[in-house]
Chain A
Amino acid sequence: MIGRHAAELGWDEGALARQVDLLSLQRNLRVLGLFQRFGGRYAAFVPRCRALIEACANSPAGAPLREVCLKALEALSPVERVAP
């Protein structure tokens, strides 16, 4: 999809992919914090969100943030799930 988007706009695919990784990292960090705050049914989405953060943090674009991101994930408490 990134390749398709880059081709359509005539952009460099690698550069776009790096920016998508960074933007994804920022959005998922925010969303994970919101899921932690709200808990309840949002707990179901936490594993996927954490996995996306880990993937982006482990990408070349996310390298400068890898340590802080992984440390933050490690420090988070489990989110309690409540019945809907």
Chain B
Amino acid sequence: MSVDADITAFLQRLGWHKAMREAMAGDASSRVYTRLRAQDGGTAILGQAPVEGSPHPAFRRIAAWLTAQGLSTPEVYGHDDVAGLMLLEDFGPGGVDVLTADGAREAELYGLACDVLGAVARAEAPVGLLEMTPEGMADMAAPLFEAIPRCARGRPWWSCATSMRPTWYTCRSGRAFGRWACWIFRTLFWRPWAMISPPSSMMCGVSCRAICAGS
């Protein structure tokens, strides 16, 4: 079945197949979001993710955990993990960047965001999350070094490798800038995480794991 057919069948099952579809801004990932507008004025968000490694099950798991902490998460109206589709409650177009544009509510809204972080920090982390290790943190910075066209010795990146290899691979193959940068990142990120105190460690651990699981 084609992607379009999958979407149509999915929306038909949920009664949203007649809604108008508006493309939404991406989130710098392979996921695609569409706002649906029903004839009665109701809206919902259709999320599409690659079928392989779809983050939707993790999204729902974290959403359920956040809801259990008394926090707001979009209601999941339906999902099809085989097709990588999920239909969500629409919180509307008023993101924090929009609501704080004139500066009047900036302190209030960021204060609320702080309260949310506090609630997350005080809670016991859900089980089964990806652990944020120093090596993992270093690897997550790899896209930056993939984007650097020339290594430290001035050679084009493509001449150092057949293409822009991921930094972790560059580290192993011993190329100049990538190897050096990666080593420093691994070393540095190891130290602070090893030294942080228990309460701070919990905060960083929970936040990082929540970010990681949700992205």
Min CB distance B141 to A, Å, is 4
B196 lies within 8 A of A19 (CB):
yes
Complex CA–CA separation, A76 to B144 (angstroms): 9
Question: With an 8 A cutoff between CB atoms, is B145 at the interface?
Answer: yes
Residues of chain B from 132 to 164 with CB closer than 8 A to chain A in the complex: 137, 140-150, 152
Within 8 Å by CB of A33, from B118, B143, B211, lies B143
Instruction: Give the interface SS of chain B, mostly helix, strand, loop or mixed.
Output: helix
Task: Report the Cα distance A67→B26, complex, angstroms.
Answer: 32
Q: How far is the CB of A26 from chain B (nearest CB, A)?
A: 5
- The listed residue with most A CB atoms (<10 A of its CB), out of B115, B137, B191, is B137
* 1/0 contact string of B1-42 vs chain A (CB within 8 Å): 000000000000000000000000110100000000000000
State whether the Cβ of A51 lies closer than 8 Å to any Cβ in chain B: no
On whether the beta carbons of B149 and A35 are closer than 8 Å, the reply is no
Task: Find the A residue at minimum CB distance from B187.
Answer: A64
Interface size (B, Cβ < 8 Å)? 43
Q: Across the interface, which residues of B come within 8 angstroms of A11, CB to CB?
A: 199-200, 203
B126 at the A interface (CB under 8 A)? no
For residue B208, CB closer than 8 A to chain A, the reply is yes
Partner of A5, one of B28, B117, B146, B184: B117
Complex Cα–Cα for A11 and B140 (A):
27
B162-181 Cβ-contact flags toward A at 8 Å (1 or 0): 00000000000000010011
A residues 30-44 near B (Cβ < 8 Å) are 30-38, 41-42
Identify B192's interface contact among A22, A41, A72, CB under 8 A: A22
B115 contacts which chain A residues (CB < 8 A)?
Answer: 8
Q: How large is the interface on A (under 10, 10 to 19, 20 to 34, 35 or more residues)?
A: 35 or more
Q: How many A-B residue pairs have CB under 8 A?
A: 102
> CB of A10 within 8 A of chain B?
yes
Is A55 on the interface with B (CB-CB < 8 A)?
no
| Cβ-defined partner of A32 (8 Å) among B137, B144, B196 | B144
Docked-complex contact B200 and A16, CB < 8 angstroms: yes
The distance from the CB of B24 to the nearest CB of chain A, in whole angstroms, is 12
CB distance from B184 to the nearest CB of A (A): 5
Does B105 belong to the interface (CB within 8 Å)? Answer: no
In the docked arrangement, what's the CA distance between A29 and B188, Å? 14
Please report the C-alpha to C-alpha distance between residue A61 and residue B147 in the assembled complex, in whole angstroms.
Answer: 25
Q: B75-102 toward A: CB 8 Å interface, digit per residue (1/0)?
A: 0000000000000000000000000000
10 more contacts with CB within 8 A, not counting A37-B147, A61-B192, A76-B148, are A1-B111, A19-B203, A30-B143, A34-B28, A38-B28, A41-B25, A64-B188, A68-B185, A75-B149, A76-B144
Sample 17 A-B pairs with CB under 8 A, ordered by A number.
A9-B121, A11-B203, A23-B204, A26-B140, A29-B141, A30-B140, A30-B141, A33-B143, A34-B143, A36-B143, A38-B28, A64-B184, A64-B188, A65-B185, A68-B184, A68-B185, A75-B148
